[in-house]
Structure 1
Amino acid sequence: MANAAPVTLIVGDEEFLADRAVRAVVAAVRAEDPGAEVHDLQGGKVEPGELTGLTSPSLFGDRSIIVIRAAQDLPKDVVAEVVKYTARPADEAVLVLAHPGGVKGKALVDGVKKAGADVVTVAKPAKGERLDFIKAEVRGEGRTISPAAAQALLEAVGSDLRELSAACGQLAFDTQGKNIDEAAVARYYRGRAEVSGFTIADLAVEGRLGEALEQVRWALATGVAPVLIVSALAGGLRSLAKVGGAPRNLRGGQLASHVGMPPWKIDRVRRQLGGWGPEGISAALQAVAVADEQVKGGGADPGYALEKAVHTIVASRTAR
């Protein structure tokens, strides 16, 4: 961002991207004027006349950056003040408005747009677009990431953009070479609860008893909470039930919409369905429910409860 607009309206409910857009404006102003003062305000707490006071010329000629977050909560009279200001902004001030979109505060959005504000949209990425987000974050660090590694990182860290961005930065800092591969992701993130839980769930539903038990013990030894492992087991089994019970005539996007999963995950679950029947899935889910109760205080040994659940899941796999 070379030069900050006098008034910038950031619209969208993705908090991380909205924060990033705010920081970009602040950085652009401070690149020109390092002494610019930032006033960070919440919409519901802005008083009438406060904007006028903050944007008034300083005795020392310093620029001001006024950030108003949750702008949908601005009082009606303050909205009118902001719209009027946007039409004739002060020379020594930059105003940034963050609005989540939606109906509330729409008069503000429409008013400042019409008055000439610069608009930045920060839409929440769809599930399929998060891989593109990861690739872009890594590219911003001067590196590349393989498709398999990007997928592994998404599964390991989850869909929160703030955590994904931090993970990309950490990987870029800690690894060598131009390209980040799947092995690097596994090396740095296999200790996270999500990775351990999902890995155990995949091994169990695929009938790989020895490996699943080994991963359970390793996860517990490295401090993974038993309740997170139970949650991953339950999630893996529910995915089997959803895909296995879906109408046979559904394909592609219709199936993805029906079961609430991205296509890549549906493909993996389909591969895992071999050897599973409705009765087996039901028995496995019951075993996981028992383990859930035990790891939450109903049993004396969470490790034993988890291993017993894994044994039952693998044994249930042949039930048709």
Structure 2
Amino acid sequence: MPACSSSRSGGRSTGTRSAIPQLSWREPQPAPIVLVSGPEEVCAERAIAGVRDYLRAEDASLEVSDIRADDYAAGTLLALTSPSLFGEPRLVRVLGVEKCSDAFLTEALSYLSHPQDGATVLLRHTGASVRGKKLLDAIRAGQGGGVEIACPALKRESDRFDFAAAEFSQARKRIAPGALRALVSAFADDLTELAAACQQLISDVAEDITEQTVVRYYGGRVETSAFTVADTAIAGRYGEALIALRHALASGADPVPLVAAIASKLRTMARVAGHREPSAALAARLGLKDWQVDRARRDLSGWTESTLGMAIQAAARADAEVKGGSRDSVFALERLVTVIATREPFAGASR
């Protein structure tokens, strides 16, 4: 079975060494024991469904049973995995392993020594507690002939971008980089909603997906995203930037991540500025994605070393002010947007 090559897509999030194959949640495969670990529920649900579909494609008579490890009746695991009269394959999905009862833990550990032929036992552990650690350690040590499908939290923007890009790639649907960026930033707080938005576009839109498509479907969310404020300000569209900022604040956006989004784009621009090597080579050297390098190079149009330095200093000041250094965080944001969009020092009175 193939090992997963990236911890973001399927590798385990802990530093513990494992003796069993590590599989991507996008390409799950069955084994006598399948451990689905980690907190990202969207990925875990995909992995669990993928294992079921894989087994069902091999034999349509697959028997699927669900039990809870935290509300476990003694003997259930062995009863569900034992061969039936007609020998159908069995899939037993066990949820709540991070809250498992002593009875389940004892029987599951015993089961690892003698897995039933034709049975796949899938264990879901969210990592929310250390409960069941002895069982996880035994599986990872190779007892039972298992595999692990890790589903670590996708917290960074680049992780969510990769997630969404893979959704469209897997569906063989083309989406413009700007449209993908707008979609990811619009659903930055909820991977479940981002996944649903991707699937809706894949299902509903026959042609290639553009930025206009994303705005048509999710305009309200896109308009108020932090990166819309950053993009319009950096592009020098002062009026649009102020309108986007006010829309974002009116919809409840927190000033701290707004400043963070702007500062992040400015820092990327500074890292890319002055380098002429190909995007892929520069991205690899700087630890960025190709699209981030390409976008930063476009953003740098009209900027100089002096104006970029001034904007970065303004972002640092605004960051301190929205984190408690000023009584008026809205004014701090407006001043930052003004400096960036006009590329000139702020001439207004301070507050």
Fold match, TM over 0.5?
yes
The normalised TM-score by structure 2 is: 0.62
Larger helix fraction of residues: 1
Query: Is it true that 1:130 corresponds to 2:163 in the alignment?
Result: yes
SS at match of 1:111: coil
Deviation per residue, 1:151-192 (Å, 9 max, x gap) = 54234334975443122245467x576665432312343443
The alpha carbon displacement at 1:198 in A equals 0.8
Which whole-Å CA distance do the structure 2 matches of 1:54 and 1:286 have between them? 63
Query: Is it true that 1:56 corresponds to 2:111 in the alignment?
Result: no
The alpha carbon displacement at 1:260 in A equals 2.8
Alignment correspondent of 1:185: 214
Q: How does 1:146-157 map to 2 (within 5 A)?
A: 146-148=175-177, 149-157=179-187
Alignment correspondent of 1:203: 232
Structure-2 change in CA distance of 1:129 and 1:203 (3 Å): closer
Alignment correspondent of 1:97: 123
Deviation per residue, 1:214-273 (Å, 9 max, x gap) = 22122223332222321211112111122126xx47544342133332111211211222
Query: Is it true that 1:224 corresponds to 2:249 in the alignment?
Result: no
Any conservation in 2 of the 1:54–1:66 contact (CA below 8 Å)? no
SS at match of 2:92: strand
Which whole-Å CA distance do the structure 1 matches of 2:277 and 2:38 have between them? 32
Alignment correspondent of 2:34: 9
Structure-2 change in CA distance of 1:257 and 1:317 (3 Å): farther
Any conservation in 1 of the 2:279–2:293 contact (CA below 8 Å)? no
SS at match of 2:335: helix
Match of 2:280 among 232, 241, 253: 253
Structure-2 change in CA distance of 1:94 and 1:107 (3 Å): closer
Alignment correspondent of 2:139: 108
Any conservation in 1 of the 2:215–2:222 contact (CA below 8 Å)? no
Query: Is it true that 1:20 corresponds to 2:31 in the alignment?
Result: no
The alpha carbon displacement at 1:286 in A equals 2.5
SS at match of 1:264: helix
Any conservation in 2 of the 1:277–1:317 contact (CA below 8 Å)? no
The normalised TM-score by structure 1 is: 0.67
Structure 1 gaps of 5+ residues are none
Which whole-Å CA distance do the structure 2 matches of 1:99 and 1:210 have between them? 49
The alpha carbon displacement at 1:96 in A equals 0.8
Equivalent position amino acid for 2:221 in 1:
R
Alignment correspondent of 1:165: 195
Q: How does 1:23-42 map to 2 (within 5 A)?
A: 23-24=49-50, 38-41=66-69
Deviation per residue, 1:286-309 (Å, 9 max, x gap) = 322333343344444433322211
Structure-2 change in CA distance of 1:197 and 1:214 (3 Å): same
Structure-2 change in CA distance of 1:8 and 1:186 (3 Å): farther
Any conservation in 2 of the 1:191–1:222 contact (CA below 8 Å)? no
Q: How does 1:264-283 map to 2 (within 5 A)?
A: 264-283=291-310
Which whole-Å CA distance do the structure 2 matches of 1:53 and 1:194 have between them? 55
The alpha carbon displacement at 1:9 in A equals 1.4
The alpha carbon displacement at 1:8 in A equals 4.0
The alpha carbon displacement at 1:19 in A equals 3.1
Any conservation in 2 of the 1:138–1:172 contact (CA below 8 Å)? yes
SS at match of 2:78: coil
What's the C-alpha RMSD, in Å, of the aligned pairs? 4.6
Structure-2 change in CA distance of 1:159 and 1:269 (3 Å): farther
SS at match of 2:79: coil
SS at match of 2:301: coil
Q: For structure 1, which segment, 176-185 or 283-292, has the greater mean C-alpha deviation from structure 2 after superposition?
A: 176-185
